[in-house]
Structure 1
């Protein structure tokens, strides 16, 4: 009989940031570092953004690439979301496997292997839309889906000069409409755009003008009779300018004859710097707006070393937390001697100066009360770039009890 190896005596693989026991406390039952989503602000954000979209007569299709977390997708749909937006065919497949039946690919569908993934989803019952901005892609999609005996919903993407993808002017839109008309397998369902690439000068005025351009373009297409959906889709909105796009869409004619769709993604957990600043700007533009989004995502890690006065090294790095456009933001310290009571101290005056693969450098006061083994909670800026570091994220309550372990699907 073959002797068991030492590895055979270990339990199943334990992902980083996962509890080592059931009914765990984040501070005592989880191998840190760990990414945690606080239950109360998460619920608040879900309800807040859904109310905002409803108040403006728009549907909500949150961008799922932010989290790629089915547990969050399900909560967004339960709160009233019309569907989930994705960025790649693989992301669409992951979302559909998690129960998301209405998928909006806010990207061009390019390459036959990716087309095959989408064809399989359509065959399985998915309602799918993607965007197009060029005749070559339109022809390739038309050939592929005609050969599969399927029809593909497409939205013309309206871009901005110097921006990312999308038609730059009305002539390009007209040429694309003509190209789509030559492909019986394609269904022209509306207009899509992304205002997040607009920058420089009077950005508010430029975003407002872009929203108007989207509306006028979909109106013109509907009037010409080329749109093949009874309520054509007009969609845009990232997480920075959602209020301005909602205002452009919020009019009686659009509510009656079109389907306005907003696509913010980061709102679900918000953040402590980038989108916190964007939310402050939204509130400044709309002083009467009730409430605001709240940060829900934090990453917890141990103080690992105190090698010299004024410096703490934390066992956290680029593989655990996003670091652009801002370095991780220290928020609270939980002393190792009192983690059972989870009594934190505010350390937001401390400053991250450098980040490596597995280490964060913190500038701290020379006389700071800190010990190796203490736990520090860090905030993030731009949550997309933190979620993709994790296969598991923890849903926790205010007392840091782990309520749920949610898997990601990157």
Structure 2
């Protein structure tokens, strides 16, 4: 088994004598906290080694979607936990939103495919917007739909937002915080810029509050490094939270664009190897099959796979990104999912968690093959993918 460190410097390595592994953990490192022109800055000299204040329960509270009588998920895309412990799960391929009771039994469908009010074309985001209220982003129809009490109660037209906006969360006033950007394959800047946008759904006013590094440039000719970094944005407690996945710095921006907090640390670089390439190619193969069910010929599929892989080449001298994903939970904590070559398919198994004030809370191991969709209170909603590729929904406790 290969043991690696990226965001977190491992404390107990397989093969080390037992007495060393049983030694008391070192004291938590002290952060340097200072104020710079009204910006709170939290800095660590290394990557903190702090055990998480909580862990996942050994078994899920429930798993739904694995039995023949269950709803058959084809592609779990988004999911949220509601205040009563129930869940709403969006299936991208089925174009449906499934409601589950707090014990994991099927409640019904919130929305399904179609062009009418409350119906779906292509699901983007799914966000909690109140006690029993959900905001659904429909990319295909170019609208945001507000559901309350299981009914569509409002629609907001977003077709005039022509730069590919994606809803990331809501601010303290209940307005949409979005990212936007239009990819240009021929851009020459070191980084293509994305935009952080506040959309006042009541007034129909869009404010671009900040730019950020979104996509790095690629070589004009020849293959590309498959493990390129990128700009990652989430929302936590009404603020944008941004991280460039090759830079150990997390930035919090208020919904008016002002930077209010920065957290920094100093990790050791980790470089790719053949195991990373194997995981990546296996993940790509599975995703291509799932996205192209119309291809029945094995020769045709292998030709497509060869074309896809031909665009990439392992770059062993370039460090791996630090983070595969970032999300804010309902308590305002920020979860940094450690980089994994197959994260898009199988999720992330290790997270570093930052407190709302930017301090390092600790690292946590997630269950294998589970993609976290939402964290609310002591519950975690996730999508589990088994060895046969069947997806189901799981809920764990954080005791």
Structure 1 length normalisation: TM-score? 0.31
More strand by share: 2
Greater Rg, structure 1 or structure 2?
1
More helix by share: 1
